[in-house]
Copies of this chain bind each other. A is one copy, B any other.
Amino acid sequence: MKAWQANIRTVTPYVPGEQPKGGNLIKLNTNENPYPPSPLVKKAIDEMDYDTFRKYPDPSSTVLTKALCEYYQMEEDEIFVGVGSDDVIAMSFLTFFNSEKPVLFPDVSYSFYQVWAELFHIPFETPVLNEHFLIRKEDYYKENGGIIFPNPNAPTGVFMPLSEVEDIIAHNQESVVIVDEAYIDFGGESAAGLIKKYENLLVVQTFSKSRSMAGMRIGFAMGNKELIRALNDVKYSYNSYTMNMPAQVLGAEAVKDDCYFRQTVEKIITTREKAKERLSELGFVFPDSMTNFIFASHKEKKAEDIYLALREKQIFVRYFKQPRLDNYLRITIGTDEEMEKLYDFLEKFL
């Protein structure tokens, strides 16, 4: 090994889900929204003046932050925006998790948590979900350097009632508790209402799922202004200009169109509820989902076999080849038309 190589940070990088390309495929593997963003987004991109690209974007993303404040009834200094919720959460690990004590997150959860902890050399422990894939709140009533969990959880789709979320926060007022609500808009109840009550609570959401803007990379955190100031201080010490101009302008337009947002979410929820019926009829079992995906296991057929058979027909779902999860498929809720094609194939195959 050469000398300069010895000082390279060694990490086990996260592997993103595959992004198959082609016209005729059905993509139910990365929890994207099957519907386009709001027509206001279309209008704004159609009217965008390319000459403005030569200037630095607003470092504080005011137009986007203001739109979010108005929508969520927060103050401007209670919201932080970043390049997807991944950026927001990574920045939060760097900002808040600087204790010698272990950070806690569920063993079956968003796999990036462990990657971030390792990247920043943060100690961590992963309490085990129970046999129904539920978080046991009592596992989080112990000394820790911080807590993070998704609600609803991923890839299980399970929503934890807000009263239990509050129990975890209330038992941990000496730590920053992050509730990662990437999927909250699909039927769950957000913890954002608890921010006024608990100053150690940070709630993170994203535009990638319910707002159809995965390609634009927009995430945000809501919390008391001291947490947000600390996040901004670290952000301004990393990169002053993280949000490019189109993300700011188009993101703000997406937030403004509440009517379209509600309609789209409603359509996905309706399709999901129907999917629960159809998948049950087809012999699948799954924890009840409050997200835009269903985490399903078949009573007879092995998940990997179904995954591969679907793949051959250009229908992509997510399969995790890892302990406890390797007999499940994570199936994103697509359009009704896409889901019918899925059921048609499964009926023949199973």
A23 at the binding interface (Cβ < 8 Å): no
A16 & B59 in contact (Cβ 8 Å cutoff): yes
A13 at the binding interface (Cβ < 8 Å): yes
A98 at the binding interface (Cβ < 8 Å): yes
Number of copies: 2
A146 at the binding interface (Cβ < 8 Å): yes
A99 at the binding interface (Cβ < 8 Å): yes
Q: Name the one of B32, B57, B240 contacting A14, with C-beta atoms under 8 angstroms.
A: B240
Q: A146-B7, A215-B54 are in contact. Are A241 and B84 (CB under 8 A)?
A: yes
A349 at the binding interface (Cβ < 8 Å): no
A217 & B241 in contact (Cβ 8 Å cutoff): yes
Q: Mark A111-122, 1 if CB is under 8 A from B, else 0.
A: 000011011000
19 CB-based A-B contacts, threshold 8 Å: A2-B174, A4-B176, A7-B97, A7-B98, A9-B94, A16-B59, A16-B236, A37-B51, A37-B54, A45-B45, A53-B213, A54-B213, A55-B215, A84-B239, A86-B238, A86-B239, A215-B245, A217-B241, A217-B243
- A: residues with CB less than 8 A from B are 2-9, 11-16, 19, 27, 30, 32-37, 41-42, 45-46, 48, 50-59, 83-84, 86-87, 90, 94-99, 115-116, 118-119, 145-146, 173-176, 199-200, 208, 212-217, 226, 230, 232-247, 250
